Amino acid sequence: MPAQQSELADGAGAPLAGAVQMRACVLREPGRPVSVEDVLLEPPRRGEVMVHVAAAGVCHSDVHLADGMLGASRWPMVLGHEGAGVVEAVGPGVDGLAPGDHVAFCFVPSCGVCSACRAGRRTLCKPAGDNGVAGTLLDGSSRLTAADGTVLQHGLMVACFAERAVVPAAGAIPIPRDVPLWQAALLGCGVVTGIGAVRNAANVRIGDSVCVIGCGGVGLQVIAGARLAGAATIIAVDRREDKLEHAVRRCATHAIDASRAGADPIAEIHAIASGGVDYAFEVVGAAATIRTAWDALAPGGTAIVVGLAPQGIEVSLPAIEFLSEKSIKGSYYGSADPAQAFPGLLELVRSGRLELGDVVSDLIELEDIEAAFGRLRRGEGARSVVIIDAGLAGASPGARPGAGSSTGGSDDR
Ligand SMILES: [Zn+2]
Ligand SMILES: [Zn+2]
């Protein structure tokens, strides 16, 4: 369905030239349910593209934003930062993208020239990070306006819980047309984050032992990455039986239910891995689970904190254990160049060695996002994917994930 050219005026009475009117999921203020509103989206400017969004994944970071846990001044905002769609319009100065191209979003459109980028740490790109936090595009301004004239922030420079998104060209990564867009929607956050943590932050080698604490949408990708890297022992830890069953289907070799009466995950990990694991991945973002990751390590092991902790959380560690050369490090968005990782990950998908659809527990509509946030707050399910254009996405809201797809999951949920 084509977006309407807007006849609406902005708050000051001036028309927004060429803006399209569309539906979008807006965070007005934390602590209140998000709302689906008609908003205006201006056309792409220099170096930007407009994407017709097909599908978008619902991530715990969206919930943190909606709950006001990532700092003040992050609203009003159009949410959504992992998704896929089809390029609809291209601004001046954009090379390598044309209308009709299938793309997945990358929420760190790195500049390539700041000191972090030059050092090869593109996820730490300063202009991308600063504007991502500010809710603007790379020129420091927004293309999004509410019907009442309020300027809206672009969620993590993507804002794809909407029918259209204008993003920097570096934030729209071309993908092959044979990957269904409802699955490609997961690439740009959960998949790159989880698999990149294994490959780039940890450097897991054949035969290593790992544990993964937290088996939601990203934790399941860490498990997939550990399997691809050749880890011999993959211990999944969670408080929900259904997530642990899912982890075992993803080739976790052991599952520990931390909610069980008398459960002692650290002792169980040490028993399974004969004295601790080489790598412990924390994919929750809480002080207690970060400490569990540390305690799970063998001497010389490394804890990788992937989970996004709310502001203000602090962790304490027994400092004497640095004598045993244990270490702990953070991993943001896969710790390398996310855009560079997309093609190889997609080849794994096409060859059947990486499943995307099997982490999807719910296919939903824009209006259902608040309910999906509720499931994430309660720790239920894996990934919800918002189907914004069923025709483009290759799946319909409410349909059983995997139906009609060659790479979909086969399990019943
Ligand atoms: Zn995310
Ligand atoms: Zn940079």
pLDDT tens for each residue of 286-329: 999 999 999 999 999 999 999 989 889 999 999 999 999 999 99
Q: What is the pLDDT of residue 1?
A: 44
Distance 84 CA to ligand 1 centre (A): 13
Q: What is the 3-state secondary structure (H, E, C) of 49-86?
A: EEEEEEEEEECHHHHHHHCCCCCCCCCCEECCCEEEEE
Distance 270 CA to ligand 2 centre (A): 41
Distance 96 CA to ligand 2 centre (A): 19
Q: How confident is the model at residue 404 (pLDDT cuts 50, 70, 90)?
A: very low
pLDDT tens for each residue of 79-98: 999 999 999 999 999 999 99
pLDDT for residue 3 is more than 60: no
Distance 128 CA to ligand 2 centre (A): 7
Q: How confident is the model at residue 15 (pLDDT cuts 50, 70, 90)?
A: low
Distance 292 CA to ligand 1 centre (A): 23
Which ligand is nearest the CA of 216, by number? 1
Mean pLDDT value of segment 92-116: 96
**For residue 186, what are its two tokens?**
């997961």
Which one-letter DSSP state was computed for residue 296? T
pLDDT tens for each residue of 124-180: 999 999 999 999 999 999 999 999 999 999 999 999 999 999 999 999 999 999 999
R_g over Cα of the chain: 21
Mean pLDDT value of segment 5-30: 73
Q: How confident is the model at residue 16 (pLDDT cuts 50, 70, 90)?
A: confident
Q: How confident is the model at residue 389 (pLDDT cuts 50, 70, 90)?
A: very high
pLDDT for residue 246 is more than 70: yes
Q: What is the pLDDT of residue 405?
A: 39
pLDDT for residue 401 is more than 70: no
Distance 61 CA to ligand 1 centre (A): 5
Distance 108 CA to ligand 2 centre (A): 9
Q: In terms of pTM, does the model score above 0.85?
A: yes
Distance 62 CA to ligand 1 centre (A): 7
Mean pLDDT value of segment 22-51: 97
Q: What is the pLDDT of residue 399?
A: 74
Distance 178 CA to ligand 2 centre (A): 31
Token pair 């084509």 is found at: 2
Distance 191 CA to ligand 2 centre (A): 22
Which ligand is nearest the CA of 80, by number? 1
Which ligand is nearest the CA of 308, by number? 1
- With contact defined as beta carbons under 8 Å apart, do 280 and 236 qualify? no
Amino acid letter, 194: G
- With contact defined as beta carbons under 8 Å apart, do 246 and 268 qualify? no
Distance 111 CA to ligand 1 centre (A): 21
Distance 92 CA to ligand 2 centre (A): 21
* Average pLDDT along the chain: 92
Which ligand is nearest the CA of 376, by number? 1
Q: How confident is the model at residue 382 (pLDDT cuts 50, 70, 90)?
A: confident
Distance 119 CA to ligand 2 centre (A): 9
Q: How confident is the model at residue 336 (pLDDT cuts 50, 70, 90)?
A: confident
Distance 224 CA to ligand 2 centre (A): 29
Distance 17 CA to ligand 1 centre (A): 32
Q: What is the pLDDT of residue 380?
A: 84
pLDDT for residue 13 is more than 60: no
Which ligand is nearest the CA of 109, by number? 2
- With contact defined as beta carbons under 8 Å apart, do 170 and 110 qualify? yes
pLDDT tens for each residue of 251-273: 999 999 999 999 999 999 999 99
Distance 8 CA to ligand 1 centre (A): 33
Mean pLDDT value of segment 65-87: 94
